[in-house]
Structure 1
Amino acid sequence: MRRRFGRDVVERWYKNPIITLENVPFPCNTVFNAGATKFGDEYILLMRVEDLAGRSVLALARSDDGYHFSVDPVPAMEPSKEEPYRSYERRGIEDPRITYLEGTYYIMYTAYSRYGARLALAKTSDFKNFERIGLISQPENKDGCLFPRKINGRYVRLDRPFGGGTGNMWVSYSDDLLHWGDSEVVMTTRAGFWDSDRIGACAPPIETEHGWLEIYHGVKNTAAGPLYRMGAVLLDLENPAKVLCRSAVPILTPREYYERVGDVGNVVFSCGAILEDEGRLRIYYGAADTCICLGFANVEDLIDRCRLGPNGDEPE
């Protein structure tokens, strides 16, 4: 039996976008790229908000239903005024991913300065008070996210060091969340495909019986500029450097006006997803670096997309 998917596996919410700058109670230019989690019965988004000067801060939005959000009156985290963070966050803090691990909510984000981009880690237990833990990579490195459990007794993260003009996905290991190493390439860009120029993690990996499901972004440079789309990959549960299968076609492509037009056009980019009952996944994503949107997908459909050929057909 042959099976086909439509253009996008991810189904957009019909009232997108769910958050724009009009919903932010302090002056800003844009709001996008939000980490996402459940905190009790509350849906939490930790959003990247670009202020009027062009620097990014992190702001909290809260919701009872996951659709309608209220944004806190002041940013949750701003570039630090204390060393050693001050020197490396002067140009902003960006793209947070939230992982619940061992009773704590960890936030891996990008610290940006004249020295480049590097990964940093913070934590919270109440989404009121946030504590920085450390600067945990050298520049240039972005798109970091923690796995939600230890693997073989060690903490694990995905990241995207940018060297030699390429951006590929790597996995790194740590015994204490501060010192990272034993890094391995997970997967690389694919010439001629939708993810031919650079790739990176989106939301933290989701554990399934088939493997770690990771939603990732891929970029293809076009005559009109970069085109950001989202795909999926399945990684081995005990060796996350091993790719089991990877989507040949995207799960989400910029098609709607709010995804095509904005500060950075033709972008869909997620930092957070929430798994709900019956394998339904809420995917919160930034659109055109200008607003936040919501999409839905079934985990099994995403895994099937990983296994299918380039035309959406089952491989022969």
Structure 2
Amino acid sequence: MTSYPHDALIFRPDDVDLSRSPLAGKVDAETYVLGAFNPGMTRLANGNLLLMVRVAEALLHPKHEGHVRAIRWKDGAYKLDAWPVTAVDTSDPRKFTVPGGSWRVMALTSLSWLLPVELDPEGKRVEAVHYDRAIAPTASYQCYGVEDARISRVGDRYLMTTCSVSPERHCTTLYTSADALDWRLEGIVLDHQNKDMLIFEGLIGGEYWAQTRPLGDLYFAYPPDSEWRAGPSINLARSPDALHWRPHDRPGIRPHAATDHTARMGGGTPPVLTDEGWLSLWHGVEPSGVVGIYRTYLSVLDRDDPSVTVRTVHQPVLEPSPALTEPLKHQMYLDGVVFTTGIADAGDRWIVASGEADLACRITHIPKKALRS
């Protein structure tokens, strides 16, 4: 595993004060923090870094009187729904599968909300936790939670994409802000299952660009001798205003047939412009166990046409770190996951934010020279 000058966990489940949670006093059951992870990141006007941490708040006793329960938001209140234990599959601690006929249907064992955590400029110390600016569900399409923020600064606006989860749809929503602390929900911007929408930190040809990752149950095969593997890939979209998006005709970053480490893949950090082109850190998943092994990889995209990949590094930039999570072993429910979600410029290095083991927030300092060709 590559060693970096700073690589540490900065925010953990025990750092969350649930007495100040948006759910506090509104759920008729005891809850705990399943994970505080997958933080979007940006730099504030005062020079500090801001993490928008996904807090997965779960029922301490999800199984009750022969049923397994889930938390759901509705009209400003939080409800508990219950399914017979004998009728669902509870093998994955993050969710359970519900009988749904011809479709795969699941419910979550937690409800996610977003907590702004302010760090010092180096990302080594927590300066403030802004519970008064937490983001929780406010619309029916968010009734099972708001997940995995990604923050981009374009001009004088901060743009934050999130995944909103409900029986209605599994969609991408957009928040905007002038200061990255007070956010306005603009609504749904991608009305299909898409967990990794990343807006480029700058316009290209006067347009907003984004990486997307639509999912489905069917993919068509590449030719047998193709360098690409069929499956989820990182696509591209363009917009005149960051609200109305049109898929780009040409594909983006695709899984390579030569390695099974990218059998699944998706976006990581919002692309940032460098001397080489747009730097994109993304995740690849090697099949293993329940969820697979998540690692972070690097591609550089052409500055004028991001559908053109200048280069891709097939060795991981970041890998899961058992040494970092060893003190949290008693709280872990899966391993083998680093999920990179934010990047900030720090002169001669990049400060990179990741979720580690779907449990905690990891900050890594990566020298810029280590990512150059």
Query: What TM-score comes out, normalization by structure 1 length?
Result: 0.86
Aligned to 2:27: none
Query: What is the aligned partner in structure 1 of residue 315 from structure 2?
Result: 249
Q: 1:52 to 1:208 in 2, by over 3 A?
A: same
Cα 1:45–1:134 change in 2 (3 A) is same
| Residue 58 (structure 1) aligns with | 114
Residue aligning to 1:68 = 125
Q: Distance in 2 between matches of 1:126 and 1:150?
A: 19
Match status 1:101 vs 2:158: no
Q: 1:311 matched to which residue of 2?
A: none
**One-letter amino acid of the counterpart of residue 33, structure 2:** C
Deviation at 1:129, TM superposition (A): 2.0
**Partner letter of residue 197 of structure 2?**
G
Q: Which residue of 1 aligns with 2:242?
A: 177
Give a deviation string over 1:68-108, Cα, whole Å, max 9, x none: 1132235621011xxxxx22111111111111112011101
Counterpart Cα distance in 1 of 2:289 and 2:333: 18
Deviation at 1:116, TM superposition (A): 4.4
SS at match of 2:252: strand
- What's the % identity of the aligned pairs? 25
| Rounded Cα–Cα distance in structure 2 between residues aligned with 1:286 and 1:109 | 15
Alpha-carbon distance, 1:300 to partner = 3.0
Q: Is residue 352 of structure 2 the alignment partner of residue 294 of structure 1?
A: no
* Structure 2 unaligned blocks of 5 or more: 19-31, 60-109, 220-230
Deviation at 1:264, TM superposition (A): 3.2
1:38 matches 2:43 = yes
Q: 1:234 aligns with which of 282, 300, 318?
A: 300
- 1:281 to 2:368 alignment: no
Equivalent pairs, count: 290
1: CA distance, partners of 2:363 / 2:260: 22
Of 4, 18, 27, which aligns to 1:11? 4
Which residue of the other structure, out of 123, 142, 153, is the alignment partner of 2:176? 123
**Partner residue of 2:279?**
213
The AA in structure 1 aligned to 2:342 is G
Distance 1:33 1:45 in 2: 9
Cα distance, 1:177 vs structure 2 = 1.5
The answer to whether the aligner puts 1:196 opposite 2:266 as a matched pair is no
Distance 1:192 1:220, change over 3 A: farther
Match of 2:164 among 95, 98, 111: 111
Note if contact 1:213-1:303 (Cα within 8 Å) is conserved in structure 2: no
Partners in 2 of 1:221 and 1:29 — Cα distance?
Answer: 24
* Helix, strand or coil at the partner of 1:300: helix
Question: Aligned partners of 2:258 and 2:325: how far apart in 1?
Answer: 23
The one-letter code sitting in structure 2 at the alignment partner of 1:20 is: R
Q: Does structure 2 retain, via aligned residues, the 8 Å contact 1:259–1:266?
A: no
Query: What corresponds to 1:310 in structure 2?
Result: none
Mapped to 1, the partners of 2:295 and 2:271 lie a distance apart of 18
Deviations 1:29-49 (A, max 9, x none): 210011111112221111111
Give the C-alpha shift of residue 12 in structure 1.
6.5
Partner SS state of residue 192, structure 2: coil
Distance 1:283 1:266 in 2: 18
Over 3 Å counting, the alpha-carbon distance change for 1:161 and 1:30 in structure 2 is same
- Is 2:53 the counterpart of 1:47? yes
SS of residue in 2 equivalent to 1:99: strand
Cα distance change, pair 59–43 in 1 and its aligned pair in 2 (3 A): same
Partner residue in 1 for 2:222: none
Deviations 1:156-191 (A, max 9, x none): 001101122631100100112121113232021123
Match of 2:232 among 159, 162, 167: 167
* Bigger Cα Rg: 2
Contact 1:79 1:90 in 2 (8 A): yes
Aligned position for 1:22 = 14
Partner of residue 137 from structure 2, selected from 37, 58, 79: 79
1:253–1:297 CA distance, 2 compared to 1 (3 A): same
- Determine helix, strand or coil for the equivalent of 2:318: coil
In structure 2, what is the Cα distance between the partners aligned to 1:239 and 1:117?
29
Q: Distance in 2 between matches of 1:268 and 1:259?
A: 11
Compute the RMSD of aligned alpha carbons: 2.0
Scaled by the length of structure 2, the TM-score of the pair is 0.73
5+ residue gaps, structure 1, are 1-6, 81-85, 305-316
- Residues 206 and 127 of structure 1, relative CA distance in 2, 3 Å threshold: closer
Letter in 2 for 1:149: G
